Amino acid sequence: MSDPAGADRFGDAALALELFMLAPDALGGLVLRGAGPARDALVERLKARLPVRRLPAHIDDERLLGGVDIAASLASGRTIRQTGLLEEARGGVLLVPMAERLLTAISGRLAQAMDGERGFGLVLLDDSVSGEEGPPPSLVERVAFHCDLSNVREIRAAPKRKPVPIARVEPADGEALTALAATAELLGISSVRALLFALVAARAHAALQGRTNVEEQDLQIAAGLVLAPRATRLPPQEEPEDQRDESTQENSSEGGAGDSEMRQAEDTVLEAALAAIPPDLLARLAEGAARRTARGSGGGKKAKSKLRGKPLGARPGMPRGGARLALIDTLRAAVPWQPLRRREHGDDPPEGLLIRKSDLRIRRFEERAAAVTIFAVDASGSAAMARLAEAKGAVELMLAQTYVTRSEVALVAFRGTGAELLLPPTRSLTRARRALAELPGGGGTPLATGITTARKLAETIATRGTTPFLVFLTDGSANIAGDGTPGRGQAREDAEAAASAVARIGFAALVVDIAPRPRPEAEALARTMQARYLPLPMADATALQRAVEAARPAPQAA
């Protein structure tokens, strides 16, 4: 995907960083997506100006918030306290590498600290590759700038500037506020935080330019840096291609509060925001709808993956038969008895902690029979629209059951020349409804691509410790090859190759033959895939859902 004309992602990110460093408290921080020299250069710039602390992903509560250092306390026999990282980062910046892997518990803490007396800025380094992952949305929401630096090679020195203190910049006038509010509304941004960030960013930009009043160009920069990455829709009947050229023009407007001028300010701010909208969002919006919830960087992130078991606390027991020792809980159980046990030893108690078998605690994990059912639906002309409606109904019915089964549902549709992940794994009915509302149909049948997309999704899911289950809704016919070119023969071969790849990995799969008259192709496909085959010529949503539930392998205990 190419950048829109004139987009300067490094320049934008560098500017965002400058603005952030002028008002770290009010702007919260920034997301820097995409590892590489460009990002490293910016982090270096940050380090040169503000004290930076790194936040390791595996940090625990004690280290983060401060508290009793158990290990040191046990060793020395007296209470040793440690200050938390949040305290240490005060007045500086907390740098979070691999922010997309941050644990919910830690992101919750950080979000809370940012809502309170913040005192620190947050820089999230997002290394996610696809739009699937991303830093926790709760944190992304709380930082002003979302910059994407993936594949940016160009690095330029920071221009020398003489900023004035931001406090000296006069508050923006009503016209400026209206321009920002109107832009946010047109871009479908509901968060008030975004508006406030944009306002501060505009003032910071004025300060950076050495001015004490907010001008239109400040608003444009703020709209481009803060509002554009959060856009969830494009304003109606606007041609973004035209807007871009105009936005580069010099805008002449200083003072004057006439209605036409006000309108003009709104327009130019909106143009600036439109020009800065990420190209992939634009592409998706142009197709008709942003399929994933485009909030923050890189589209909607799966809210919470049900990873393997969650620790539930410990219970007494011996660490054998696969059970793991819960060290802290064991120590905790042993500690109160120490004086007594020492007394038992008489005058010469041994050194160290006296631990008895009865102190031993083992870990328990909540067993989550987590499973993701991936529907791969043939949305081509040959499968007709009715099929899609039934698949959609089945997905919704399954989601309604997820309270009980703890499973998630994802949906891949293939048609035309490619396959598309319409619904990333989710438990949310609301989200599913929105994603499925405009399920497109028609075109050729790229069966191979559909199978491959579903398999790749299944592999991603499997690495998270969740069990995927593939359900293919197809009549087995294919007429678009894996590389997107038409041709029945090649398409057939590619589909078989893709199917055997599924078999090799050994995921449980089900092929539902949706042809009005069951055909040998679908059955052959199921055989290649080592999947179950189920002809359901007249199936409706309910029947389909029941069939899938019945065919699904019993979830494995964690």
Partner 1 sequence: MARFPFSAIVGQDEMKQALLVAAVDPAIGGVMVFGDRGTGKSTAARALAGLLPPMTTVEDCRYHCKPDERGSCPDPCTSGRNRKAAVPFVDLPLGATEDRVLGALDLERALRAGEKAFEPGLLAKAHRGFLYIDEINLLEDHLVDLLLDVAASGENLVEREGLSVRHRAQFVLIGSGNPEEGELRPQLLDRFGLSVEVRTPEAIDQRVEIMRRCAAQEADPEGFAADWKAEDEKVLKQIARGQKKLATLTVPDEAMADMAGLCRAVGADGLRGELTLMRAARALAALKGARAVTREHMIAVAPMALRHRLRRDVLDETGSTVRIDRAIAELFG
State the minimum distance, in angstroms, from the CB of residue 83 to partner 1.
16
Chain centre to alpha carbon of residue 487: 37
Residue pair 411/393 in contact by the 8 Å Cβ criterion: no
**What b-and-e string marks burial along 216-242, b requiring 16 or more CB atoms within 10 Å of the CB?**
bbbbbbbbbbbbbbbbeebbeeeebee
196 binds partner 1 (CB under 8 A): yes
Paired strand residues for 145: 30
The residue type of 55 is: L
State the minimum distance, in angstroms, from the CB of residue 351 to partner 1.
16
294 binds partner 1 (CB under 8 A): no
116 binds partner 1 (CB under 8 A): yes
The residue type of 406 is: R
57 binds partner 1 (CB under 8 A): no
Total Cβ atoms within 10 A of residue 190: 11
Span from 194-202, 240-248, 280-288, 465-473 in contact with partner 1 (CB under 8 A): 194-202
State the minimum distance, in angstroms, from the CB of residue 255 to partner 1.
19
Q: Which helix (H) or strand (E) covers residue 472, if one does?
A: strand 467-474
239 binds partner 1 (CB under 8 A): no
Angle at 33 between CA 28 and CA 34, to 5 degrees: 155
* Burial environment of residue 532 by CB neighbours within 10 A (0 to 12, 13 to 18, 19 or more): middle
182 binds partner 1 (CB under 8 A): yes
155 binds partner 1 (CB under 8 A): no
In the list 3, 44, 154, 185, the residue contacting partner 1 (rule: CB under 8 A) is 185
Residue corresponding to tokens 């020009």? 275
Span from 44-52, 335-343, 450-458, 526-534 in contact with partner 1 (CB under 8 A): 335-343
Residue pair 134/296 in contact by the 8 Å Cβ criterion: yes
Question: Between residues 53 and 109, which has the closer beta carbon with respect to partner 1?
Answer: 109
Span from 156-164, 280-288, 330-338, 496-504 in contact with partner 1 (CB under 8 A): 330-338
Question: Between residues 20 and 414, which has the closer beta carbon with respect to partner 1?
Answer: 20
Total Cβ atoms within 10 A of residue 417: 15
**Residues, the chain, total?**
558
Total Cβ atoms within 10 A of residue 255: 9
Question: Between residues 107 and 474, which has the closer beta carbon with respect to partner 1?
Answer: 107
118 binds partner 1 (CB under 8 A): yes
338 binds partner 1 (CB under 8 A): yes
Total Cβ atoms within 10 A of residue 206: 26
Paired strand residues for 371: 407, 467
Token pair for 286: 């142009």
391 binds partner 1 (CB under 8 A): no
348 binds partner 1 (CB under 8 A): no
280 binds partner 1 (CB under 8 A): no
In the list 255, 336, 506, 520, the residue contacting partner 1 (rule: CB under 8 A) is 336
Q: Rounded to whole angstroms, how far apart are CA atoms 25 and 117?
A: 9
In the list 48, 57, 105, 129, the residue contacting partner 1 (rule: CB under 8 A) is 105
Question: Between residues 212 and 428, which has the closer beta carbon with respect to partner 1?
Answer: 428
In the list 261, 280, 396, 493, the residue contacting partner 1 (rule: CB under 8 A) is 396
Span from 101-109, 444-452, 461-469, 477-485 in contact with partner 1 (CB under 8 A): 101-109
Total Cβ atoms within 10 A of residue 304: 9
Chain centre to alpha carbon of residue 236: 27
Span from 13-21, 85-93, 372-380, 389-397 in contact with partner 1 (CB under 8 A): 389-397
339 binds partner 1 (CB under 8 A): yes
Q: Rounded to whole angstroms, how far apart are CA atoms 187 and 157?
A: 33
Residue corresponding to tokens 């406030």? 196
364 binds partner 1 (CB under 8 A): no
Span from 127-135, 180-188, 469-477, 512-520 in contact with partner 1 (CB under 8 A): 180-188
463 binds partner 1 (CB under 8 A): no
255 binds partner 1 (CB under 8 A): no
